[in-house]
Structure 1
Amino acid sequence: MGNMPDVLLLVGRLNYVWTNTESLLIYMIAHQLGVDKEAAIVVFLTLNTTRARIDLVERLAKRSATPAADRGFILDVMGRLKRVSRLRNKYNHSIYAFNEKGDIASTQLMRLVETDDSILYGKVEQMDQREMRQLEKGIAEIADISKMLWGFIHASPALKDAL
């Protein structure tokens, strides 16, 4: 069972590292479109989902004008970001069940899965030590992605000026 303060601390850290990392997409958009930071912020905020922002960065990277090294780096990092976004979405779009001691016993994902003849919803997962380790691993992965993006940003002369 997950001790509520420990789980909430990890979910808070997950959201903190996610938000800071997602905001770096502004610089990736600026770099790929050749616009200033203000214009990139407008584009970033106009796209109202994380998935749309990642898709834009990936699609821009796939243009023939994108240097191969940049393309490979961007597609790799965006792929990693999409994979770890599942963990973030899980903890932001779940209902938490508590045991009699007030500890978080499980999460129930609030998502529909529709088949030809039925609707499934609410996958339940126990909030155990394995899940706590998954949260910690996800936080570390997002932090690593952030470091990689910062390295890319600092290596780009055009992006250094935007900082």
Structure 2
Amino acid sequence: MSEPGQPIDFDAFLLLIGKLNYAWTNTESLLIHLIAGLSGMDKETATVVFLTLNTTRARIDMVERLAKLPRISQAERDRMLMLTKRIQGQSALRNRYNHCIYAFDGEGSNPRTILMRIADRKDKLMMGQVNDLDTAAAGQVEDAIAELTQINRDIWQSIADFDYPG
């Protein structure tokens, strides 16, 4: 991109969001192998479990809970919990761009997001958080894609290290 905070081409940003979603989905699907390995089930059965758990949070909870079983070694547990923590660390950015609307000024430029979430505080509701789509935002997405790519590699290494079904 260019200097942080500068305007960006919206089409280029959408391509980044597509890459982010690809990296996310591809990495999340690897939880199937972690579920299989930690539970002792075959990959086909783990796929059914993965697909039955219809949220990322539920899938990560499953991996974390299986990792905490007493029969799981400390090294294996630590690795699984570290991996799930890293995945969760990328979820806020992914959610920001997947649960928002995109808005523009009257000329169709200066793109920004409006978050479609209600924050319920003690005595008020907050909604419609606005974020500019600029080179800084694009840089955050690029960083998230790079981290998800590394998490993906680290999961595959863990699958090999712990002899999980591949």
Partner in structure 1 of residue 126 of structure 2 = 120
Partner in structure 1 of residue 17 of structure 2 = 11
2:44 match: secondary structure: helix
Checking the alignment, whether the CA contact within 8 Å between 1:10 and 1:135 is kept in structure 2 is yes
Q: Say whether residues 1:43 and 2:75 are aligned partners.
A: no
Partner amino acid, structure 2, of 1:119? L
Query: Could you give the per-residue CA deviations for residues 29-58 of structure 1, whole angstroms, max 9, x where no partner exists?
Result: 000110001110111011010011011101
The answer to which structure has the higher helix fraction is: 1
Distance change (3 Å), C-alpha of 1:37 and 1:104: farther
Partner in structure 2 of residue 59 of structure 1 = 65
Superposition deviation, residue 62 in structure 1: 1.3
Partner in structure 2 of residue 89 of structure 1 = 95
Superposition deviation, residue 114 in structure 1: 1.0
TM-score, normalised to structure 2, is: 0.91
Task: Select the structure with the greater relative contact order (CA < 8 A; seq sep ≥ 6).
Answer: 2
**Tell me, which stretches of 5 or more residues in structure 1 are unaligned?**
none
Counterpart among 142, 151, 156 of residue 162 in structure 2: 156
**CA RMSD, aligned part only?**
1.3
Superposition deviation, residue 101 in structure 1: 5.0
Checking the alignment, whether the CA contact within 8 Å between 1:30 and 1:37 is kept in structure 2 is yes
Checking the alignment, whether the CA contact within 8 Å between 2:10 and 2:111 is kept in structure 1 is no
1:63 match: secondary structure: coil
2:123 match: secondary structure: coil
Checking the alignment, whether the CA contact within 8 Å between 2:76 and 2:162 is kept in structure 1 is no
Q: Matched residue pairs, number?
A: 160
Report runs of 4+ in structure 1 exceeding 6 Å deviation.
none
Counterpart among 67, 73, 77 of residue 79 in structure 2: 73
